[in-house]
């Protein structure tokens, strides 16, 4: 069930009294995508409200998300937005609707702009450092009881019931392209099975570390936002999300090398890890291609048209025929 502006506005209006805002409250829509995000301002304070779409997360998984973002701030100093509780001290507003329970969460305002909009560029190296700190925290953290988040494993990413749908219905992907993409999918599945899910490579990840989900202020401090997709997956999937929508560009190899240089300055990667980079980039590319097919009215789908899907077919051909595609410089240097 995709959100509409009418749905979001209605849920927000019902939730706001729980935060004790004044009658002169001002509400500004910041984004309407998978969730609705608003800036709420009254005479005494400002905060950001996230209205959840129906059916993607339940109340337990949202509580778990918030527990991890709190732990990242407390354990390793990774900056994340703090939850603004209701006047009753609750982190989540729960609203009954005919379709089922709906959820609203408020967060503190983060200074600065997103990495896409800021005049201060965020380097891939700095992002690699930040991601490694997050992964180290996960390796040394014991989640609280009842912690639950979904998995970004091979089946949920590319299986028959993949969370984002099938690339077969994506714009720019025709029936003649299916054998190529099916072969790439099979290769990815085989590589992931061989790579395995050891604790050193598969655990809790942000799962969407694009520049749009990073804030940078005038002091060049980074804050990680939008943990709605966080869940259990491969650590290197976080690298693949960094180059989302850009996998076909000339700059992607340099971006990956810089990210790895930053990451390995904090947390090591093995030769087996580095050999999987192309696999994870191709995995994410196929997932995004499928997402476009299930979100045909979304801004990315409208902007990209059929070009992205056609480009995915070209990348899949390269992935299948060139084993050195996107081979990180660090892997070459170790040989």
Q: What is the pLDDT of residue 298?
A: 87
Q: What is the pTM of this model?
A: 0.95
Digit-coded pLDDT (tens) for 117-139: 999 999 999 999 999 999 999 99
List, for the chain, all residue ranges whose pLDDT scores fall below the cut of 70. Answer: 1, 331-335
Task: Please name each of the domains of the chain with its CATH number.
Answer: 5-109 (3.30.200.20), 124-333 (3.90.1200.10)
- Please state the φ and ψ torsions of residue 82, each to the nearest 5 degrees: -85, 150
Q: What is the pLDDT of residue 335?
A: 53
Q: Which residues of 108-124 are buried (b: 16+ CB within 10 A; e: fewer)?
A: eebebebbeebeeebeb
DSSP string, 26-44: EEEEEEESSSEEEEEE-SS
Residue corresponding to tokens 């299916």 = 178
Q: What is the pLDDT of residue 334?
A: 62
Q: Which residues of 42-67 are buried (b: 16+ CB within 10 A; e: fewer)?
A: beeeebbbbbbbbebbeeebbbbbbb
Residue corresponding to tokens 């899907």 = 309
């Amino acid at each position: 069930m995709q959100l509409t502006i009418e749905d979001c506005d209605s849920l927000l209006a019902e939730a706001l009294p729980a935060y004790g805002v004044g009658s002169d409250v001002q509400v500004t829509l910041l984004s309407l995508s998978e969730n609705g995000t608003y800036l709420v301002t009254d005479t005494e304070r400002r905060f950001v409200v996230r209205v959840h779409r129906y059916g993607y997360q339940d109340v337990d998984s949202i509580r778990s998300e918030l527990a991890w973002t709190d732990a990242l701030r407390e354990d390793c100093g990774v900056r994340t937005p703090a939850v603004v509780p209701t006047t009753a001290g609750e982190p989540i507003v729960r609203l009954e609707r005919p379709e089922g329970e709906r959820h609203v969460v408020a967060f503190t305002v983060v200074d600065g702009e997103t990495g896409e909009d800021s005049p201060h560029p965020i380097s891939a190296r700095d992002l690699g450092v930040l991601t490694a700190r997050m992964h180290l925290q996960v390796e040394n953290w014991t989640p609280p009881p009842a912690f639950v988040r979904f998995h970004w494993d091979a089946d949920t990413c590319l299986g028959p019931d993949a969370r984002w749908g099938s690339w077969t219905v994506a714009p720019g992907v025709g029936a003649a392209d299916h054998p190529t993409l099916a072969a790439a999918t099979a290769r990815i599945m085989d590589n992931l099975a061989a790579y395995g899910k050891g604790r050193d490579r598969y655990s809790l990840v942000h799962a969407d570390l694009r520049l749009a989900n990073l804030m940078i202020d005038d002091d060049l401090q980074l804050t990680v936002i939008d943990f709605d997709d966080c869940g259990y997956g491969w650590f290197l999937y976080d690298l693949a999300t960094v180059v989302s929508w850009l996998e076909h560009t000339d700059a992607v190899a340099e971006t990956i090398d810089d990210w790895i240089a930053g990451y390995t300055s904090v947390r090591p990667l093995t030769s087996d890890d580095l050999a999987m980079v192309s696999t994870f980039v191709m995995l994410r590319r196929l997932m995004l291609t499928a997402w476009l097919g299930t979100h045909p009215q979304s801004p990315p789908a409208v902007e990209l048209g059929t070009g992205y899907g056609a480009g995915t077919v070209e990348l899949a051909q390269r992935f299948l025929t060139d084993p050195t595609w996107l081979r990180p410089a660090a892997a070459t240097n170790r040989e």
